[in-house]
Each structure stands twice: as C-alpha cells, then as structure tokens.
Amino acid sequence: IDLVLVATSTAIDRSPNTAARVAARLGIPEPAAMDVNVVCAGFTHALATADHTVRAGAATRALVIGADKMSEVTDWTDRTTCVLVGDGAGAAVVEACAPGEEAGIGPVLWGSVPEMGNAVRIEGTPPRFAQEGQSVYRWATTQLPPIARRACEKAGIEPADLAAVVLHQANLRIIEPLAHKIGAVNAVVARDVTESGNTSAASIPLALSKLIEQGKVRTGDPALLFGFGGNLSYAGQVIRCP
C-alpha cells in the first residue's frame, strides 16, 4: 500500500489526519495519506481519486476507506435526524489491472450544487449534524436520476444491465425511487439503511459488502455506486464487483 485515503466528515482532530493514523496502526511504510471530506459522497469521491492516482502512476496500490462516527455529531434532541444515523466503516484496495484486463472501476461522474450546500451540514462547537430534509428529498428525487444515468453512460452500460445499484443509504424514500427512475429494472437495490442507518461515507462500502456476503452479486457483476448528500455533492461510477 502506498496511498491511504480515508473518506470521513467526523474526524474530531485536525492533525494528524485519520489516514495517517490508520497507516501508523497498520504499519504501512511511507504512504501518501489523505482524508477526503465529502460527507455522504466521500467514498465514491475517494474511490475515483484512487483510480485516477493509480492510472496516472502516482500510486501502485491504494487503501480506500469510508468511515463515519455519526453518533459523535448527532443532535439527540432533533428527532428528524437522530433516528436516521449510524456508525460504520468499509474499505477497499485499489490496484492496477493486468494488461488486457477490463478495468474494474469506470469513469466517475461528480459535481455539486454549492448554493444548496447548507442543506446538509455538520457545524458548530461542538459540531452537530443538521439538514433541511424536504429540500434534500426534492433535490435527490428530481435532480439525481438523470445524473446517475449519465454515470452509466460514461461507463458504456445501460441501467437495465446493472446487477446492483448501491446508493448512499440516506432514506428508502430516496433510494427506491431513484433506482426505479434510472431504469435499473434487473438490479438488486441495496437497502442497508434499514439495518445500519445512514452511516454517511461508510454507507456505500458497507452496503456493497453485505450484498457480496449475501451472494446477491457475484464477482464481475456491474454495480452502480452513487453517493450524494453533504455539500450537496454527488459522485458515481460503475464498478465490477470484486
């Protein structure tokens, strides 16, 4: 491992960053170590960053982690948010594919809506999570489906050919309509929010890991990973299941 990327928005300390602490605990010698704070879209941003870095030859093998401890930043007096969140972590190793082998990570489609960035926030002293739920819901259910379809187009795959759709586990009322609207009619849709809650940057690797463990997807199956939320940022790519 020569690159460690940790997607998190709940690191309490500014320095050393979480990636450096992970590298130290694992005994990884001399890696580049960076935290990526894109909140709920953190893992897909970090995965794309690792993909780009390996393709450019700046790293040979990257450890990509999505981890958030939402209980640290939850406002337990706010019943609109405290019942939704959970703590979790998930990780993947990214390395170059063999010559002639199909890449396991497709092109990323990412962006943000800065003028709506305050709709999901972790701020204050001590930091507390808050969101404008109805605004986020309307944005996610109306604006994200065409963006998710474009992520499939960049990968050269029709949504109907996806084996799995793994969205950020925000809310079933967002997840299920979004998967339906993009036309992923043959895909298993990750619904880990009902078991783990909204674990922010951890939700996508956690949900994908469970689908693999349950045998609902197989090695090589195409899966859309799509993160969205804090900062009103989004990032998605089609991967081949490891």
Q: How far apart are CA 200 and CA 228, in angstroms?
A: 9
CATH number of the domain located at residue range(s) 3-95 in this protein: 3.40.47.10
Q: Say what the pLDDT of residue 133 is.
A: 86
pTM of the model: 0.96
Omega before residue 29 within 30° of 0, cis: no
Q: Which residues are the active-site residues?
A: 40, 168, 198
Q: What is the pLDDT of residue 128?
A: 95
Q: Give the β-pairing of 128-131 and 120-123.
A: antiparallel
pLDDT tens digits for range 156-198: 999 999 999 999 999 999 999 999 999 999 999 999 999 999 9
CATH superfamily of 109-240: Thiolase/Chalcone synthase (3.40.47.10)
Q: What angle do CA 215, 217, 222 make, to 5 degrees?
A: 170
Residues of the chain with CATH 3.40.47.10: 3-95, 109-240
**How far, CA to CA in Å, does 151 sit from each of 28, 90, 186, 188, 232?**
33, 22, 17, 18, 17
